[in-house]
Amino acid sequence: MIDHRAPPPPAGPVPWDKKFALRLLADMVRIRRMEEKSAEMYGAGMIRGFLHLYIGEEATGVGALHALQPEDNIVATYREHGHALVRGMDMGVIMAEMYGKREGCAHGRGGSMHLFDRATRLFGGNAIVGGGLPLAVGLGLAAKMQNEKRITACFFGDGAVAEGAFHESLNLAALWKLPVLFCCENNLYGMGTALERSESQTDLCVKAASYNMPALKVDGMDIVAVHEITKQAAQRVRAGEGPLFVEYQTYRFRAHSMFDAELYRQKAEVEEWKTRGPIHTFSARLKAEGKLTEEEFLAIDARANAEVDAAVAFAEAGTWEPVEDLLRDVHAS
């Protein structure tokens, strides 16, 4: 267990209007329902390959992405279904990609780990740990050289911090004062390896700060704290202060991919984190403040389930790309 906990968030009511609060709650529920269904469809053999679920970590992606602008760039990992959805990708298109159907965002070429969307500036879905960080630096460089106002938000896990790419990227971004927001989703494990078994310095902010950039940590299970800190961070990056690092302290409730024996962590630890589950804690808070009724929650949930059903129907009705097209999209022509 790491002892570099984020400070407790400011007390007081949720600083958002009801509409915005319910929108973020709904996005967490949409991700949760979509992923539960994905797991079911994996079991049914409709989705194959690796499937990395974001269940438990929804507050991080939803809170952070809602603090960004449509013109911003997003770089994500293989645990990116939620990011794609919140960014605006159609759930049916995501599901179709996971089914390997032509109607998916990459026509079934990429699958679950490689969701790309030009329209929402989502630059993937990268399945090489740390692989997205240098890319984010380059996107930041391009924006800076072309005087664009966009920033690049790069999501990656705690495991990626051990890769050379992390260190090279943070150094470059700070050296060149690039508009990159490094979003580290610290769920305490890289596959089966706990953070304290892989890092000599488990305070990831200390590492980032050593590259001479501001580094903030936040309770990634608290969507309000996540959103507020990301908003501030994005503003600073956009204002030209250079890159910034945010560590979101979160937890994955499910296996690393679809199955692992979970020999590396205690059941009790998982259960303890589940009590901090982002959906029920945020709902409870909104209810206590009179911003959410049980009926409203049920309606949000019903809408999410309907969206999931429609997405599955869309994926199932999808078609297979003809084998004659196997060699397409390798070169420009």
Partner 1 sequence: MSRKLNYREAMREAMHEALVADPRVFLMGEDVGRYGGTYAFSKGFLDEFGPERIRDTPLSELGFVGAGIGAALGGMRPIVEVMTVNFSLLALDQIVNTAAAYRHMSGGQFSVPLVIRMTTGAGRQLAAQHSHSLEGWYAHIPGIKVLAPATIEDARGMLAPALADPDPVVIFEHAGLFNMEGELPDDWTVDIRSAKVRRVGRDVAIITHGGSLPKAMQAAEQLAAAGIEAEVVDLRVLRPLDTATIAASVAKCHRAVVVDEGWRTGSLAAEVMARIMENVFYELDAPVARVCSEEVPIPYARHLEAAALPQPEKIVAAVKEMLG
Ligand X SMILES: Cc1ncc(C[n+]2csc(CCOP(=O)(O)OP(=O)(O)O)c2C)c(N)n1
Residues that bind ligand X (CB under 6 A): 79, 127-129, 157-160, 187, 189-191, 256
Cβ 240 to ligand X shortest distance, Å: 29
- Contacts with Mg ion: how many residues (CB under 5 A)? 5
49 near partner 1 (CB under 8 A): yes
240 near partner 1 (CB under 8 A): no
Nearest to 78 by CA among 185, 215, 182: 185
260 near partner 1 (CB under 8 A): yes
3-state secondary structure of 72: coil
Q: Are 56 and 252 in contact (CB under 8 A)?
A: yes
Nearest to 28 by CA among 268, 286, 229, 217: 286
Site for Mg ion in 142-161 (CB under 5 A): 157-159
Tokens of 231: 């908003």
305 near partner 1 (CB under 8 A): no
159 near partner 1 (CB under 8 A): yes
320 near partner 1 (CB under 8 A): yes
Site mask, Mg ion, residues 24-63, x = CB under 5 A?
Answer: ----------------------------------------
Residue closer to partner 1 by CB (options 179, 190) is 190
Pairwise CA distance, residues 153 & 182, whole Å: 6
Kindly report the CA angle at 51 between 272 and 158, in degrees rounded to 5? Answer: 55
Q: Are 77 and 57 in contact (CB under 8 A)?
A: no
CA distances from 147 to 7, 178, 179, 274, 323 (A): 35, 11, 11, 44, 43
Residue closer to ligand X by CB (options 58, 307) is 58
Residue closer to Mg ion by CB (options 124, 190) is 190
Nearest to 174 by CA among 144, 218, 203: 144
114 near partner 1 (CB under 8 A): yes
- Residue 263 binds which entry of partner 1, Mg ion, ligand X, none, with Cβ cut-offs from 5 to 8 Å by kind? partner 1
For 63, what's the count of Cα atoms within 13 Å in the CB-facing half-sphere?
Answer: 30
Going 138 to 141 to 147 to 153, the CA torsion angle's sign is positive
Residue closer to Mg ion by CB (options 199, 301) is 199
Q: How many CB atoms lie within 10 A of CB 269?
A: 13
In one-letter notation, the amino acid at residue 30 is R
Q: Indicate which single residue of 113, 172, 223, 234 sits in contact with partner 1 (rule: CB under 8 A).
A: 113
In one-letter notation, the amino acid at residue 126 is N
Site for partner 1 in 171-230 (CB under 8 A): 190-194, 197-199
- Residue 327 binds which entry of partner 1, Mg ion, ligand X, none, with Cβ cut-offs from 5 to 8 Å by kind? partner 1
Q: Which residues bind partner 1 (CB under 8 A)?
A: 48-50, 100-101, 106-111, 113-114, 126-131, 159-160, 162-165, 190-194, 197-199, 260-261, 263-264, 320-321, 323, 326-327, 330
